Homo-oligomer: A and B are copies of this chain.
Amino acid sequence: MKKSADESALASENPVTFSALGERAQPPTIARLMTMALETPNLLSLAAGFTDNATLPVDFVRAATEAMLGNPGDREFIQYGTNQGRPRLRQLLAERLAKIEAKLDAAELSRGLFVTNGSQQALYLAMQVLGEPGDIILVDRPSYFVFLEMLTGLGLRAVSMPVDAAGKIDAPALGALLDSLASKGEMRKIRAVYFVSYFSNPSARSLDAAEKTSVAAELSARGLCIPVVEDTAYRELYYREAPAAPSVLSLPAWAKFPKLYTATLTKPFATGLKVGYGLCTDDAWLKKMLHVKGHHDFGSANFNQAILEHALVSGNYDRQLEQIRPAYERKMRALHETLVREGLPTLGWSWAEPTGGLYLWLKAPESLDTGLDSAFCRACLEAGVLYVPGELCFGDEAPKNFIRASFGVLNERDLAEAGRRFVSVVRRFV
């Protein structure tokens, strides 16, 4: 058989070429961090997003599996479930949310609720169905870095909502930004607004009701009724007091907007079970996400959903929250107080003490570059401590002088040691 010139050219190419559908190339940050961690013996990682090992609810997971598997006549837990998720679990979650936000109707919430492989999949589905390459997603500043990398992967452009010196969304500046996008003819490209609203990853900040309302007001004033995605992954991870701000689901200013509320059940329980959910108020958007989920995996693992269902019904889920809230506060303090005691604030660094979540968001003097390739980062690695460079957590115009330090996985002793190592490096860069 003869080959044409064209066919021979084809044969000599790399046969695996990739497409826009398959996301754009970009630096795989997590992979680099993990490689750094693996290559450094005795490293204490403040970078890992893992949760506390000591409080993982072995007993509560066992109570669930024993109850489920103890009756051999009932095997539905290990049979396929449905694409949208277990109806009873969806109902329980809707009721739980309606209890926190009294204005909400549980039956209505349950209809729009779908269970996912962690809340990450809900975020992915939301962005996959909304954006065309080149479209704009408005994001908080700083924002969740895996979300930002995902946007890049999908060819979407993150545009940060401006913040004031205290880190609050600056409504007039947001208005000016929107006007500037309008004047460039880019208004139609804005497809959604995204923020992590409670004890944010990475900033540990929560948005208050007025702040959320102000975003809606600036959008509404410009006729921009775009989908909003509120990522509430850390909402239940407060230390002492539940955050007061309602979600966009019940804030009047957001009433007319299509809304997606995302949350995880397993970040504050057992991360190895990976059950999250999205709750969508717009039928067309929901239908489209479920459609794509039908192709991703046609349903998250039924067994894991049933474990969470048991934990919620038995009260073990709330018992677990009661255990981990003070535990994470102690861990936060172990790191925070070490940094204070070692003198970090006297070296020009500042941060707010969190009241929930898993992160300290440290601001260094502006002259210090903390990036992955910086001398400072290398020195930290050599001293046996790793962090997430803050520059990864900005959708645009990333400053170099922030650091996300997670106290999720290390124990208190190691957190104190990591803090000491960290400040000892900082001293060398003053």
Contact = CB atoms under 8 A, between A and B. Distances in A.
Interface of A: 1, 3-4, 6-8, 10-11, 14-16, 18-23, 26, 28, 30-31, 34, 49-51, 53-54, 56-59, 61-62, 65-66, 69-70, 72, 75-83, 116-118, 120-121, 124, 127-133, 135, 146, 149-150, 153-155, 175, 182, 187-188, 221-227, 257-258, 270-275, 282, 284-285, 288, 291-292, 294-304, 306
Contact of A273 (B10, B59, B78, B225): B78
A68 to B, nearest CB: 9
A285 B225 CA distance: 39
Nearest to A287: B28
Given A19-B131, A222-B1, A273-B303, A75 B58 contact: yes
Contact of A132 (B21, B66, B300): B21
Given A78-B272, A182-B4, A295 B124 contact: yes
Contacts of A30: 83, 294, 298
A21 B128 contact: yes
B59 A72 contact: yes
Nearest to A274: B301
Contacts of A11: 223-225
A226 B15 contact: yes
Contact of A23 (B75, B116, B175, B292): B292
Given A22-B130, A120-B297, A225-B11, A16 B80 contact: no
B149 A3 contact: no
Contact of A258 (B15, B153, B175, B299): B15
15 contacts: A3-B222, A8-B223, A20-B21, A21-B127, A22-B288, A23-B128, A54-B75, A56-B75, A62-B66, A62-B69, A78-B271, A153-B292, A274-B301, A296-B296, A301-B301
Contact of A21 (B7, B51, B79, B131): B131
B153 A117 contact: no
A224 B19 contact: no
A173 to B, nearest CB: 15
- Copies of this chain, complex-wide, total 2
Given A16-B284, A20-B21, A78-B271, 4 more contacts: A7-B223, A11-B225, A19-B135, A121-B297
Nearest to A307: B303
A273 B117 CA distance: 12
A395 to B, nearest CB: 16
A224 B10 contact: yes
A222 B272 contact: no
A79 B149 contact: no
Nearest to A275: B301
B187 A6 contact: yes
A14 B57 CA distance: 45
Nearest to A296: B124
Contacts of A188: 10
Contacts of A61: 65, 69, 78, 303
A51 B61 CA distance: 25
Contacts of A54: 75
A79 B62 CA distance: 14
B187 A10 contact: yes
A23 B298 contact: no
Contacts of A10: 187-188, 223-224
Given A117-B117, A291-B28, A51 B80 contact: yes
Contacts of A182: 4, 6-7
A1 B275 CA distance: 44
Which of A155, A272, A296 lies at the interface centre, i.e. has the most chain B CB atoms within 10 A of its CB? Answer: A272
